[in-house]
Chain A
Amino acid sequence: MRKIRIAGLRQVTNLSQVEVPSLPMGLSQMARILTLLAENGINLEFVVTHAQADETMDLVFGVQRNHIAAALGLLRGVREKFGLKEVRSRDRVGMISLFPHGNRAEAIGNFFAAFQEAGIRLVCISFSLSAISGLIEESLIPDALNALSEYFELPG
């Protein structure tokens, strides 16, 4: 393992995660779900969707914790109408974003290694142009930052 120089780390706390699994392939239900939330002023911190082995798609998104009750209320209210099999939530989660330079594969390897060494489960990973972000139990953020500091070199 080589310690990698990165541009920075960012943490966001007070999040909740919502998971809507087993949506049919295609976007119509997903678009309806996200539109419903947007129309009700619920902003999303991240959105991840990808196909599962059974040819369905999972939708995972994060909201500020003070919006979780409203988000779940809205989704459970339309569960039958939208044909949602299930709506799950995970509370007290936080997101750590790592901003790498250069080789993404190496940074991703170290990213996984750091969380494993700390015994922290990554419940979701999202990706952006500049960062890879992991969602973890919020109380474990200090441990995660310690672990990441063993694998990454922060500027300054």
Chain B
Amino acid sequence: MAKIKLHDIFHSSGQALVTVLLEERKVQFLPSIFYALREEGIPISFIVQSMGQRGDFTLSLATAQQHSDWVRAALQEGLDLPPSMTLRVQDHLTLITLYGPHLGEIPGIASRILSALVTDGVEVLAMSASLNSSLLVISQKFLPKSLRSLNRIFEIPAK
């Protein structure tokens, strides 16, 4: 199978992924939490959200690891979550960004990415693919293996 040409691939290690389960009524507090993150200069490198059948939401966001305690506290307090409420932080992660081609131009991009990674035993903790890029959150320990897997299916321009 011919390799798919990418515009670029880059990765950023030292990331943390914060995942929180939200009741719908708590979503109203999210803007002020993100404004607080802006005030603190905390970057958001990844965010996805999906809705469960009962109308609750799962929100996952990645930030630099040194900010994860701050983000956890902001979500815990901003959303008024009881200590027992599930808010998970995973660290020592890497965010891999595959830039181009547009997802709508070539069928099967996401399938090829996941198939290559699963073949090599890489665990993906989160993924978002839309428009012109695919973002993968993996454990840092899988980075070399992931890059080898992705090199098998993508033609990556030399730097």
Which chain B residues in 69-91 approach chain A with CB under 8 Å? Answer: 86, 88
Tell me whether chain B's interface is mostly helix, strand or loop, or mixed: mixed
Contacts known (A49-B124, A53-B58, A104-B43); A44 close to B110, Cβ less than 8 A: yes
The answer to the question of A73 belonging to the interface, with a C-beta cut-off of 8 Å to chain B, is no
The answer to the question of B147 belonging to the interface, with a C-beta cut-off of 8 Å to chain A, is no
* Segment at the B interface, from A74-82, A118-126, A141-149: A118-126
The answer to the question of B60 belonging to the interface, with a C-beta cut-off of 8 Å to chain A, is yes
Is A109 touching B38 in the complex (CB atoms < 8 A)?
A: yes
* Contact-residue bracket for chain A: 35 or more
Q: Which residues of A contact B117 (CB under 8 A)?
A: 27, 31
Which chain B residues in 111-153 approach chain A with CB under 8 Å? Answer: 111-112, 114-115, 117-118, 122-135
Chain B interface (Cβ within 8 Å of chain A)? 19, 21, 24, 27-28, 30-35, 37-38, 42-53, 58-60, 86, 88, 97, 99, 103-104, 107-108, 110-112, 114-115, 117-118, 122-135
Q: Which residues of B contact A133 (CB under 8 A)?
A: 130-131
Q: In the complex, A109→B128 CA distance in Å?
A: 19
CB distance from B46 to the nearest CB of A (A): 6
Chain A interface (Cβ within 8 Å of chain B)? 1, 10, 19, 21, 25-28, 30-31, 34-35, 37-39, 41-53, 58, 60-61, 88, 95, 97, 103-106, 108-110, 112-113, 116, 121-133
Is B130 touching A28 in the complex (CB atoms < 8 A)?
A: no
Is A128 touching B37 in the complex (CB atoms < 8 A)?
A: no
Is A127 touching B132 in the complex (CB atoms < 8 A)?
A: no
Q: In the complex, A51→B88 CA distance in Å?
A: 10
14 contacts between A and B (CB under 8 A): A1-B35, A25-B123, A27-B117, A35-B115, A38-B108, A44-B110, A46-B131, A50-B19, A50-B126, A50-B127, A51-B19, A123-B50, A124-B50, A126-B129
